[in-house]
Amino acid sequence: MNYLDNYKLWLENAVEDEDLISELKSIEGDDKEIYERFYRSLEFGTAGLRGIIGAGTNRMNIYVVRQATQGLANYVLKKYGKGAVAISHDSRIKADLFMIEAARVLAANGIKVYITTELQPTPVLSYLVRYFKCQAGIMVTASHNPAAYNGYKAYGEDGCQMTDVAAGAVYDEICGIDIFDGVKTLDFDKALEEGIIEYVKDEVYTSYLDEVKKQQINPDICKDADLKVVYTPLNGCGNKLVRRILKEIGVEKVEIVKEQELPDGNFTTCPYPNPEIKEALQKGLELCEKVQPDLLLATDPDADRVGIAVKDYDGSYRLITGNEDGIMLTNYILSGRKANGTLPEKPVVVKTIVTTKLLEKICEKYSVELKNVLTGFKYIGEVILNLEKTGDEANYVFGFEESYGYLAGSYVRDKDAVVASMLICEMAAYFKKQGKTLAQVIDAIYEEYGYYKNTTLSFEFGGAEGMKKMAGIMSDIRENAPEEIAGYKVVKTADYKLSVEKDIATGEEKEIFLPKSNVLQYNLEGDNMAIVRPSGTEPKIKLYLTAVGKDKADAQAVTDRIAEDLKSKMGI
């Protein structure tokens, strides 16, 4: 069926949502707008679904959500015979509606559903899957995307985002379902009365926070440290649980950024609610200048990631990168657990391949095994699962990715801004009692190990042609591999799509034992590195650069040279 026929089909059948009816009528006769909405269907992958809210197969709406959920229901019933699914949502526009629609579909298929009474962080959804021993989970969120987006993350029975195999099986089911006639639904209130849909009770969230608190290194350190914090949930769902956990560990002085305190899917004060970028933290930084806290915490809309800014030497506030925060947390956790005797005999730390190489030196100091995995926290969760299978789950200590995602402990299988916020504050309190700021802490680490500057550059390719252009760029650089970048010889390459690592000097090739992924890595002279990766959830190509310098300025100069030459070689 071509896109115009599909449009006509939707005009006739998409009658349950007034917003969709209005949108479909408004684009009548506009070929370009119709094409954008119907030239493809949102593809269900390991990140589930993500797209602009609106009408059409290439948009997030109740019909796309229902079809995806029917596919998930088919998968669960075929694999398990019966099952249960936990569902939650964040502050996104229509997120609560999409949760209810997904619940109706699952209930109609005879699958037990546990849903939250209000928005909750993504890690809570991961916890609920494990707590209720569900076969799957759904989190309605678009994470840190702009307000126009919503999404649908699917989780497996281990509480981790679905693997490639499981997501592929669900997608196969979805492809065989008619979006209007092939989906079962049950009245929501009736399903509640019958008990097939059940709201999660408050004590379950308390049990989650109990698990979070078990991850403390120095449990009483915050009670008399006089730590002062500014916190913004960026109009997302971290507000209640982050503030509650900080209060429970003894952080009493917490100032909230009022404009960003309450849930608001329009994100009017931060159009791109991503704690990685300064603009999203601007309101928080302005409040910091007024109240002079020790640090600023900012959790993203679904509260699985956290960014921070800390008081610098001159009294201003320094933004800390995701790598720097992860470096400090790893160092604090390993040194603290070694000191108090709780570090396991065979400790394991996990990072993604695009995360700082400096972690290798810290793990070497503490005789910790460092595992590298592909980008995506599901791969860190997979390491925990494999340790669990061999009875070694307790060996997992910490995992993180450069995009501000952290997890201590194995009670959930996704990044968790609640535990990260707790540990960041505990760490800040610990060093404050020693007369040190976190700015001094990260600088001391650089002094000890060398200045590693990690930079992520993103290049967006919008519209229907964007994905084609991205594919062309990746194909070109794969076929015309650079021998040098910015004058630094390429000493080793890794193609994660072909699963091949090559030593350029010897020509020796080794197999990469990781799932295949469209990622290219170039190890350069001087321990510098460049990684090229198209995003799996957004129409972007990302460059991850590692530059090693004598100091910050030197590393920045190296970064700039590598970035400009690589961009030129890729034509972006």
Which residues belong to the active site? 143
Q: Which residues are CB-neighbours of 541 under 8 A, at least 6 positions away? A: 458, 459, 461, 470, 473, 474, 532, 533, 534, 535, 570, 572
> At a CB cut-off of 8 Å and minimum separation 6, what does 239 contact?
233, 256, 261, 262, 263
Question: Please, what sign has the CA dihedral across residues 45, 267, 86, 115?
Answer: negative
- 449 burial (CB, 10 Å; 0-12 / 13-18 / 19+) is middle
Specify the 3-state DSSP secondary structure of 177. coil
Residue 75: enclosing H or E segment and its boundaries?
Answer: helix 62-80
Is the CB of residue 149 less than 8 Å from the CB of residue 49? no
Task: In whole angstroms, give the CA distance from residue 328 to residue 404.
Answer: 13
Q: Is residue 1 helix, strand or coil?
A: coil
Beta bridge partners of 405: 305, 401
Dist CA 178 CA 164 (whole Å): 23
Helical (H) or strand (E) element with 557: helix 552-570
H-assigned helices in 433-495: 438-449, 466-479
At 405, give phi and psi (nearest 5°). -110, 130
CB atoms within 10 A of CB 97: 16
Question: DSSP E strands: which ranges in 11-108?
Answer: 49-52, 84-89
Angstrom distance (rounded) from CA 378 to CA 384: 10
Question: Distance between CA 468 and CA 457 in Å, rounded?
Answer: 20
As a whole number of angstroms, the distance between CA 509 and CA 512 comes to 10
